[in-house]
């Protein structure tokens, strides 16, 4: 049995996007496939009484500047150039995250994730506006009708809610969150620890 690695993500979190960009290299180095689990970050915040950094950093001198410095360091360390702050932040991602559930069911999940992330954080758009969403998905040559119909499906809505509740039950309080087996890691800065834990668990199983 191989090591299970999960990435609990919401398109609204820039730090989840930056993690998404470096996950392929982590997969290549470790030989594991990371499982993407769509969750609704707003639901996590509501269930845990947590708030986004955009809120918690407000009015605190130096702390936001330091987060910006850490982001710049991460971009440089990983040679990331395709990142642009979304001018419409915070974007309500309910439709996009339900769309991720639809994409899982219909078998185009990986491409959907790549494309929606691009529309959020590389060529950022107001991705909580239905017209903007339709235009973006069309540009990406994704099955727009299937998606826009599917996100109204009660089962799809329920699945996203179940993912989110399960995530919180397992200890999640923000984004990005990773599980290596049952070990939780929070934040893009923990990706090195994630990788070391994967290697450790791989060693323990051989």
Of 129, 148, 186, 202, the one binding its own copies (CB under 8 A) is: 186
Q: Does residue number 189 form part of the binding site for its own copies (CB under 8 A)?
A: yes
Site of tokens 């929070």: 186
Q: Does residue number 55 form part of the binding site for its own copies (CB under 8 A)?
A: no
Give the nearest distance from C-beta 203 to its own copies in angstroms. Answer: 16
Give the nearest distance from C-beta 34 to its own copies in angstroms. Answer: 20
Residue 189: DSSP 8-state: G
Q: Which is nearer to its own copies, 2 or 56 (CB)?
A: 56
Task: List the interface residues with its own copies, window 157-176 (CB under 8 A).
Answer: 168, 171-174
Interface stretch with its own copies, choices 53-61, 96-104, 108-116, 152-160 (CB under 8 A): 53-61
The Cα–Cα gap between 154 and 174 comes to 25
Interface stretch with its own copies, choices 43-51, 85-93, 118-126, 152-160 (CB under 8 A): 43-51
User: Rounded to the nearest 5°, which phi and psi values hold at 104?
Assistant: -60, -45
Residue 165: DSSP 8-state: H
Of 33, 54, 60, 72, the one binding its own copies (CB under 8 A) is: 60
Give the nearest distance from C-beta 50 to its own copies in angstroms. Answer: 5
Q: Considering only CA atoms, which of 76, 65, 13, 5 is closest in space to residue 40?
A: 13
Biggest CA-to-CA distance, the chain = 52
The Cα–Cα gap between 1 and 104 comes to 23
Give the nearest distance from C-beta 200 to its own copies in angstroms. Answer: 11
Q: How many residues bind its own copies (CB under 8 A)?
A: 25
Q: Residue 187 pairs with which residues in a beta bridge?
A: none
CB 134 within 8 A of CB 140: no
Q: Does residue number 181 form part of the binding site for its own copies (CB under 8 A)?
A: no
- Where are the strands (E) in 64-193, listed by range? 177-180, 183-186
Torsion 11-12-13-17 (CA) sign: positive
Task: List the interface residues with its own copies, window 84-143 (CB under 8 A).
Answer: none
**Which residues bind to its own copies, rule: CB under 8 A?**
47-50, 56, 59-63, 65-66, 69, 73, 168, 171-174, 184, 186, 189-190, 192-193
């Amino acid at each position: 049995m191989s090591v299970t690695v999960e990435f609990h993500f919401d398109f609204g979190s820039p730090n989840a996007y930056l993690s998404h960009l470096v996950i392929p290299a982590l997969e290549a180095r470790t030989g594991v496939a990371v499982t993407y689990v769509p969750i609704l970050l707003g639901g996590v915040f509501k269930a845990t009484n947590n708030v986004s950094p955009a809120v918690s950093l407000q009015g605190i001198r130096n702390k936001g500047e330091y987060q910006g410095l850490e982001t710049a360091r991460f971009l440089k360390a990983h040679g990331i150039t395709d990142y642009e702050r979304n001018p419409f932040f915070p974007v309500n991602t309910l439709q996009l995250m339900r769309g991720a559930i639809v994409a899982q069911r219909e078998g185009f999940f990986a491409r959907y994730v790549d494309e929606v992330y691009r529309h959020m954080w590389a060529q950022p758009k107001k991705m909580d506006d239905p017209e903007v969403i339709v235009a973006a998905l069309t540009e990406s040559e994704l099955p727009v009708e299937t998606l826009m119909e599917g996100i109204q499906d009660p089962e799809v809505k329920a699945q996203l809610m179940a993912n989110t509740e399960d995530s919180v039950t397992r200890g999640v309080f923000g984004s990005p969150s990773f599980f290596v087996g049952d070990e939780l890691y929070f934040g893009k800065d923990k990706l090195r620890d994630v990788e070391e834990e994967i290697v450790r668990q791989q060693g323990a199983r051989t």
